[in-house]
Amino acid sequence: MAKSKMRKLTPDPNEIVKIAMYVRVSTDRQAEEGYSIEVQKERLVAFSKTMDGEVSYEFYIDDGFSGATLERPAMQRLILDAKNRAITHICVYKLDRLSRSQKDTLHLIEDIFLPNNIAFISIQESFNTATAFGRAVVGILSVFAQLERENIYERTRSGMQKRVEAGFWPGGGGVPFGYDYDLDKGILVPNSDADTVRQVYSLYLKGYSLQNIANTLGLKYEKLASQILLRKTNIGIIDYNGVEYKGQHEPIVSLETFEKAMALHAQRSEKGLSAGTKHLLTGLIYCGVCGAKMRYQKWGNAGFKLVCYSQQISKPYLIKDPDCNNETVWAEDIEKALIADLMEMTADEIGSEDSDTPVSLSETLQRKKALLEQKLRRLYDLYSDSDNSVLLESINEQTNEIKKLDEKIKQEESRGLWTKNAEAAKEQLRNIRETWNYMDIQEQRNLVCSVIDKITVTHNSVRMDYRY
């Protein structure tokens, strides 16, 4: 670090002492504990009156800024004035007001203050950098300031870990799309975007690409659609530091929907095709006794069996009934039963309509439009009171967004996308006898996932529920 000579703390009687009084408060709580802006200013002014010579001072105040970084407005101005030698002294009420980082504190003193012949004084600790002892004390105290910051960080992490284990959201930023954070309850609460999240899964399972989903639902980019699709928060799970915990918040989509979407995602992605499942029915099979998912499990050299997750401990959150007595069944038997059922379906069965009406995409777009119109009315009310040009820009942006939604609604109503997807799946079924043996496993899974809603295994019987 740079070295230089240092001026005396007590200046000559004719010398003008220019003091930069630095003040910082990061939170309201610090203000309550005696570190308020006014308290610091009062102590600093009182100290300046004890100095000899003609004294002038200026306050450099960072209100609401952490001491963990030097990226603070007043601190940057202080550094610039120090380098320009516009001041002779820098005073703080307490050392940690300057910085809580040992590295930053020593950088300021050794690389900025001392080379520019500026004395640094901390009132609370009663030292100054005019002496070698004072500089040594600065280093020691900075170490303790850094230690306290690290202790606060560790305590915060420990508290967040306990919250997550109890099912509460850890807090902080990064609230998932489709949720708001209820500060009083400490949990996530579905908001008006929850319908959009449901549509992401519904459209994906219907065959839409992620880019098409983003365009249709007005999401900013494909990556956001992907993040929504893959996020386990949507099924009530909190992923914290690589560990999954059962959250207390309400799921937006069912576990069944999520698992089907994950199975389809593994098929579509190149990575999923090379490293994902090679089993035909992964993500579609459920236990008829307890309702839990069933998984493929290697059974020696004989092949694979289907095992209820309630009888496994690898994923506790998937357990429905620890006492489930459903038997394991050979996966090959269930696969053969499904293939035979698909092959034997008649044209009338393929053409029959499912009794359940699919979720209307147009309805979701209409709800988004209604929310935008409500926001637009509020903007007009504000604009009528203030005549603000910024508000006018926001009004124009909202108006354009509503026009885009209107176009999407008209397109959706005219194209009948839901009907087209259903008919495409049925067309595949009509040709299955001719095409099945020529498909690879991923193409077969694609077809099965597009037409099968779920397969339920109860002891030695199997039930197949079709989507159409």
Give the chain's domains with CATH numbers: 16-150 (3.40.50.1390), 347-466 (no CATH)
**pLDDT of 93:** 93
Question: For the chain, what percent of residues have pLDDT higher than 90?
Answer: 27
What's the whole-number mean pLDDT along residues 134-147?
Answer: 68
User: Measuring CA to CA, which residue among 77, 88, 79, 95 is closest to residue 117?
Assistant: 88
Residue 107 has pLDDT above 50, yes or no: yes
Element (H, E) at 389: helix 389-415
Most confident of 170-184, 282-296, 392-406: 282-296
Confidence category of residue 398, pLDDT binned at 50, 70, 90? confident
Confidence category of residue 193, pLDDT binned at 50, 70, 90? very high
Residue 272 has pLDDT above 90, yes or no: no
Look up the pTM and report it: 0.38
Yes or no: say if 91 and 44 are a contact pair by the CB < 8 Å rule: yes
- 24 versus 107: the higher-pLDDT residue is 24
- Tally DSSP H helices, then E strands, for the chain: 18, 15
Instruction: Report the range of poorest mean pLDDT among 46-55, 352-361, 389-398.
Output: 352-361
What's the whole-number mean pLDDT along residues 353-363?
Answer: 52
User: Measuring CA to CA, which residue among 84, 77, 80 is closest to residue 62?
Assistant: 77
Question: For the chain, what percent of residues have pLDDT higher than 70?
Answer: 75
Q: What is the pLDDT of residues 322-338, one digit of tens each?
A: 999 999 999 999 999 88
Q: Name the H helices within 35-130.
A: 37-48, 73-83, 95-98, 102-106
Pairing of the two strands 119-122 and 54-63: unpaired
**pLDDT of 271:** 35
Residue 387 has pLDDT above 70, yes or no: no
Instruction: Report the range of poorest mean pLDDT among 278-282, 289-293, 392-396.
Output: 392-396
Angle between helices 441-451 and 417-430 (to 10 degrees): 130
What's the whole-number mean pLDDT along residues 242-264?
Answer: 87
Residue 354 has pLDDT above 70, yes or no: no
User: Measuring CA to CA, which residue among 1, 5, 2, 3 is closest to residue 117?
Assistant: 5
Confidence category of residue 364, pLDDT binned at 50, 70, 90? confident
* Average pLDDT of every residue of the chain: 79
Q: What is the pLDDT of residues 401-439, one digit of tens each?
A: 888 888 877 766 654 544 444 555 566 666 677 777 766
Residue 304 has pLDDT above 50, yes or no: yes
Q: Which of 4, 26, 142, 384 is catalytic?
A: 26
- Distance (Å, whole) CA 253 – CA 198: 6
Residue 289 has pLDDT above 90, yes or no: yes
What's the whole-number mean pLDDT along residues 137-151?
Answer: 68
* HSE-up of residue 411 (Cα within 13 Å, Cβ side): 10
Nearest 5°: phi and psi at 417?
-60, -35
- Distance (Å, whole) CA 161 – CA 144: 26
26 carries an active-site annotation: yes
Spell out the residues 6+ positions from residue 170 whose beta carbon is closer than 8 angstroms to its own: 160, 163, 164, 238, 240
Residue 36 has pLDDT above 60, yes or no: yes
User: Measuring CA to CA, which residue among 33, 30, 110, 14 is closest to residue 67?
Assistant: 30
**pLDDT of 31:** 55
Residue 21 has pLDDT above 90, yes or no: yes
Most confident of 8-12, 312-316, 327-331: 327-331
- 368 versus 305: the higher-pLDDT residue is 305
